Amino acid sequence: MKKLLFSAFILVLLGVSTSVKAQGQYKSALGIRLGNTNGITFKTFVNNKDAVELIGSFRYDGFGLTGLYEVHGRAFNSRDFNWFIGGGGHVYVWGDKRPGFLDRDQTTVLGLDGILGLEAYARTIPLAISLDWKPAINIINYSSFWADEIALSFRYTF
């Protein structure tokens, strides 16, 4: 299962081929996400305002993959700031060291995610910095609401 998730993540990264830039800023970005759930983030724009973001993360000694569709708009009437809002889904996988709230046989959790954030783009260097809140609802194999995912992301833009 872990190999399948990693392979899907790599295929999406390699399959990005459009050349539109978000609000005149950047096309794609790859970086780190720091918060209660740390990980790697990749964002690419499919047109001027819509982006797809993939997050590979680590939580409770497990690995998660989140896919989000986001709508962006200008914030503060500035070309250097965007707000964004969106949604998607996640899958988390644990091995023998799974969290105590899961039953003995549960190793995978599926759910839905939302995202709301603000992004700043540094035009003089290829860097985008975002602060976001990503609440999640676990639906399959464990029912819960995770409201604690506030993160700061630093992405190299290209």
What whole-number distance in Å separates Cα of residue 25 and Cα of residue 127?
Answer: 10
Would the pLDDT of 109 be above 50?
Answer: yes
pLDDT tens, 66-80? Answer: 999 999 999 998 888
23 or 117: whose pLDDT is higher? 117
Residue 88 pairs with which residues in a beta bridge? Answer: 68, 113
> Tens digit of pLDDT for each residue in 39-72?
999 999 999 999 999 999 988 788 999 999 999 9
pLDDT at 4: 43
Lowest average pLDDT, out of 6-10, 89-93, 102-106, goes to 6-10
Neighbours of 109 (CB within 10 A): 25
CA 90 to chain centre: 10
Q: What is the dihedral of CA 50, 151, 128, 46, to 10 degrees?
A: -20
